């Protein structure tokens, strides 16, 4: 049966590609209306027609992918129709409530697409550092750390790597030449590394899959060490901590800067969506496009 369906789908796809019209005349028992549409599938008295598949295949899709898309769509359509039929036989369906939900869903889909279009056309996505800082200062209690974070350097290298005795001196050096040497070394020999910059990073993520991940009291460790070396059977680990911040404290601004940008952008999107609805309503009211009748 599946192979027969695939043949039908292939023929349907070829019909779509060639814009052919092979009409089959059928009678709708509900409306007694005679129509001519190419059938693709049937579940009891409900039919899926060839023109229902319009738009499923994006332009430029290969024939193989097109057939796969249509196959998936038709199979899903059949399954949904079967469940609907089974539901209609076994429970009482409030058709009016279903229609209201369908209308709400249709509105949500169409409004979502139009809102996205409107937002793309009108969104100002430029956010100044001053705006980010102001948002942060007004809502610091919203940015409490849930984990320990650090600024620093972490390097993991195999024990067999050369010149491991120089890593500590490179890490502590302030010379640009040594910084470049350390970066080049890490690119060539390190299994994992993070070099010191202004970036804050979660301590647990930084030291994952290393003996440092097993430290029982990480808060005490961060307070006690600014440099630490350890090893396991295969690797050496080097950690230099330039700064740290403990969980349950207010997060540094730099650590949540991108989060704040996203929050501000989302607030602007919500405001634009609300503005769109208000504009559409007010313009329609001015044109008297709608009326509310009193009983």
Mean per-residue pLDDT of the chain: 87
Under the banding of pLDDT at 50, 70 and 90, the label for residue 11 is very low
Q: What is the mean pLDDT of residues 60-73?
A: 88
Under the banding of pLDDT at 50, 70 and 90, the label for residue 280 is very high
Cα distances (Å, whole numbers) of residue 49 to 12, 34, 43, 52: 10, 15, 12, 5
Q: What is the pLDDT of residue 209?
A: 92
Range with lowest mean pLDDT among 85-89, 143-147, 188-192, 202-206:
85-89
Q: What is the pLDDT of residue 30?
A: 45
For residues 61 and 69, the answer to whether their CB atoms sit within 8 Å is yes
Q: What is the pLDDT of residue 35?
A: 56
Tracing tokens 């006690």 back to the chain, one arrives at 224
Q: What are phi and psi of 155, to 5 degrees?
A: -135, 135
Range with lowest mean pLDDT among 37-46, 143-152, 260-269:
37-46
Is the pLDDT at 25 greater than 50, yes or no?
no
SS3 of residue 91 by DSSP: coil
Q: Say how many C-beta atoms besides its own lie within 10 A of residue 259's C-beta.
A: 14
For residues 226 and 240, the answer to whether their CB atoms sit within 8 Å is yes
Is the pLDDT at 31 greater than 50, yes or no?
no
- Long-range contacts: 6-14, Cβ < 8 Å, 24+? 6/67, 6/71, 8/40, 8/41, 9/40, 9/67, 9/70, 9/71, 9/74, 10/67, 12/38, 12/40, 12/50, 12/53, 12/70, 13/57, 13/63, 13/66, 13/67, 13/70
CA dist., res. 112 & res. 21, Å (int): 35
CA dist., res. 200 & res. 196, Å (int): 10
Q: What is the mean pLDDT of residues 20-39?
A: 48
Token digits for 219? 């808060």
Q: Could you give the angle at the alpha carbon of 286 between the alpha carbons of 283 and 292, nearest 5°?
A: 100
Q: What is the mean pLDDT of residues 145-173?
A: 96
For residues 248 and 145, the answer to whether their CB atoms sit within 8 Å is yes
Range with lowest mean pLDDT among 77-86, 92-101, 163-172:
92-101
Share of the chain above pLDDT 90, in %: 69
DSSP state of 162: T
Question: pLDDT digit string (tens) for 208-264?
Answer: 999 999 999 999 999 999 999 999 999 999 999 999 999 999 999 999 999 999 999
Q: What is the pLDDT of residue 14?
A: 44
Q: What is the mean pLDDT of residues 170-179?
A: 94
Under the banding of pLDDT at 50, 70 and 90, the label for residue 36 is confident
For residues 268 and 124, the answer to whether their CB atoms sit within 8 Å is yes
């Amino acid at each position: 049966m599946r192979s027969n369906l695939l043949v039908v789908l292939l023929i349907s796809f070829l019909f779509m590609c060639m814009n052919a019209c092979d009409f089959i005349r059928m009678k709708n028992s509900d409306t007694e209306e005679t129509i001519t549409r190419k059938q693709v599938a049937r579940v009891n008295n409900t039919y899926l027609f060839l023109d229902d598949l319009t738009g499923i295949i994006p332009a430029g899709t290969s024939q193989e992918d097109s057939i796969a898309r249509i196959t998936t769509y038709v199979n899903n359509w059949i399954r949904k129709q079967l469940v609907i039929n089974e539901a209609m036989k076994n429970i009482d369906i409030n058709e009016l409530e279903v229609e209201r939900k369908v209308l709400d869903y249709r509105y949500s889909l169409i409004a979502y697409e139009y809102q996205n279009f409107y937002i793309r056309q009108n969104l100002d996505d430029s956010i100044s550092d001053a705006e980010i800082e102001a948002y942060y200062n007004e809502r610091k209690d919203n940015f409490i750390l849930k984990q320990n974070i650090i600024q620093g350097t972490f390097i993991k290298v195999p024990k067999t790597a050369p010149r491991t005795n120089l890593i500590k001196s490179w890490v502590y050096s302030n010379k640009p030449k040594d910084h470049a040497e350390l970066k080049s070394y890490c690119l060539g020999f390190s299994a994992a590394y993070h070099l010191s910059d202004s970036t804050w990073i979660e301590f647990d993520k930084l030291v994952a899959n290393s003996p440092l991940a097993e430290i029982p009291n990480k808060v005490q460790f961060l307070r006690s060490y600014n440099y630490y070396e350890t090893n396991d059977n295969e690797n050496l680990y080097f950690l230099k901590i330039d700064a740290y911040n403990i969980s349950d404290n207010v997060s540094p601004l730099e650590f949540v800067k991108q989060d704040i940008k996203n929050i501000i952008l989302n607030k602007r999107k919500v405001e634009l969506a609300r503005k769109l609805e208000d504009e559409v309503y007010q313009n329609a009211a001015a044109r008297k496009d709608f009326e509310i009748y009193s009983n």
